[in-house]
Structure 1
C-alpha cells in the first residue's frame, strides 16, 4: 500500500505538468513548454499525450522533419484526429512534400472533427495542381464549417484569380478584406484583383496552362507599356509573376520598367 501511495504521489504531478506544458504551448510559450516537458520526462512521464505534445512542440519550433516523424508515429499508433493530420500535412508542406501532405489531408478530411483550415489547405494544393473542381469542393466544404474565415474566403478568391476570373475573385477577396481589414496579404491580393479588373486583362482560357496564361499576361503588359498604360502593364506583369516561375525574370524586369520612377512618386 505504501509503494502504491508513493507511485501515485509521483504520477499525479507528472500528468499535471504535461497538461500545463500543453497549455503553455497553446498560449504561444514554447520555451516554457519545453522546460516543463523536460521536467515531466525527468519524473518519468510517458505515453500518447506526451508524444503528441512533443510533436506539437517540434512543430511550433519549426523542426519540421522531427514533427513529421513524431506525427507519423502517432498515426501509425492508431491516433486519429483532424488536427493531427492537419499539423502533419503542414509539416510535410514546409519540407516541400506536397504529395505526402495531400495524402494526409485526404485522410484527415474523412474524420468528423476535420476543421476549416484543413479544407483550405486541400484547396491550396488543388490550386497548385490546377485541379479547379477539387479546389472548389475543398473551399466550399471549408466555408460550410466557417463561412466567416478570412483565410478561406481569400484563398477561394485567389483560386479564381489564378483562373483569370477577375470580377468574382475581386468580390471574394474584397469580402475577405472586410473580414480582416488589417491583413496585409489579403489587402495586397485585393489590390491585384482590382488592378486586373480595372485594366481589363486577358481571362484564362478553358484548359489553359499556367505557362500559356502567364505568357499572354506578359504580352498584354508589353503592349500596354508601349501604349503608355503603365497601371495596366503593372497589373499584367504582376499577374504573370503569380502564374508561372518560368516567366518570373522576364515579367519582373518588365514590371520594373512599368513602375514609376522615384522622381514621379508622390
Structure 2
C-alpha cells in the first residue's frame, strides 16, 4: 500500500517538461503551479532556474527575467534562447548597450530565429543604425516572411526614417494578415496620413484616448519630416481630445513651437 501511494504521488507531481509546455502554450499561472509542485518534490538546479526566468519573461517582469538569464549565461554562454530572451528583456528596460551585445551573440548562433533578428533590428532602430536594422529585418523576414509583427516593426522602422510610402507597403501587408490588430491598423493609418499630409481621422467608436494617441504620433512624424504646422495642429487636436494625453501632447507642442 505504501509503495502504491508513493507511486501515485509521483505520478500526480507535474514534471518540468509539463511546465515548459504550459509556458509555450501561454499559460503562465498553470506553469507557476507546476514549477512550485516540482520544486516541492525536490526539483532544483539550472532547469528550474531557466523555467523561472522564462516565466518572469512571459509575465513581463523584465528585471527578474534579466537577473535569471544573467545567472544562467556564464555556464551556457552560447545558448541562443538565453541570449535572445536576455537581450529582449534588456530592450524592455531601455538598456540599449546590453541589449545590443546580447542580441549580437544571439543572432550569431546557428539557426537564429526571427525573434532574435527582430529584436536586433528594433535595437538598431532605437540607435538609428538603419543599415543594421535593414539587414536584421531582412534576415528575420527570410525566416518568417508572413509574420505580421515583423512586418509591422519593419513598417515602423521606415516611419522613423521618414520613408512614408515604404512604411505603407509593409504595414498594409501586416494589416492584411491580421485585420483585427488595432496597433497595426493605427500604424497604417499614421503612415497613410503622412503620405497624404493629413491628420488621422477619428474612427467610428474610437475612444478619446486612442484617437489622441494617434494624433500625438502623427504630430511627432510630421515634425520629423519638417512639417511644423501640421505637427502643431496634431498636438493641439490631441490636447483638445483627451485629458490623459494632455501632458505629453502639451510638452510636444511647446517644443515644436519653440523651434521657430
- The alignment's TM-score, normalised by the length of structure 1, stands at 0.72
* Contact 1:83–1:114 (Cα < 8 Å) also in 2: no
Aligned residue for 1:31? Answer: 29
User: More displaced, 181-190 or 53-62?
Assistant: 53-62
Aligned residue for 1:143? Answer: 141
Which segments of 5 or more consecutive residues in structure 2 lack a partner in the other structure?
Answer: 200-219, 239-247
* Contact 2:151–2:173 (Cα < 8 Å) also in 1: yes
User: More displaced, 95-104 or 60-69?
Assistant: 60-69
User: More displaced, 81-90 or 106-115?
Assistant: 81-90
Following the alignment from structure 2 to structure 1, what is the Cα–Cα distance between the partners of residues 133 and 179? 25
- RMSD (CA atoms): 3.5
Matches within 5 A, 1:3-18: 17-18=15-16
1:48–1:113 Cα change, 3 Å? farther
- The alignment's TM-score, normalised by the length of structure 2, stands at 0.73
Aligned residues, how many? 222
Aligned residue for 1:76? Answer: 74
* Contact 1:71–1:84 (Cα < 8 Å) also in 2: yes
Aligned residue for 2:250? Answer: 249
Aligned residue for 1:217? Answer: 226
Aligned residue for 2:188? Answer: 190
Which segments of 5 or more consecutive residues in structure 1 lack a partner in the other structure?
Answer: 202-210, 226-232, 239-246, 256-266
Deviation at 1:72, TM superposition (A): 1.3
1:153–1:67 Cα change, 3 Å? same
Aligned residue for 2:117? Answer: 119
* Contact 2:194–2:222 (Cα < 8 Å) also in 1: no
Following the alignment from structure 2 to structure 1, what is the Cα–Cα distance between the partners of residues 166 and 46? 46
Following the alignment from structure 2 to structure 1, what is the Cα–Cα distance between the partners of residues 142 and 225? 36
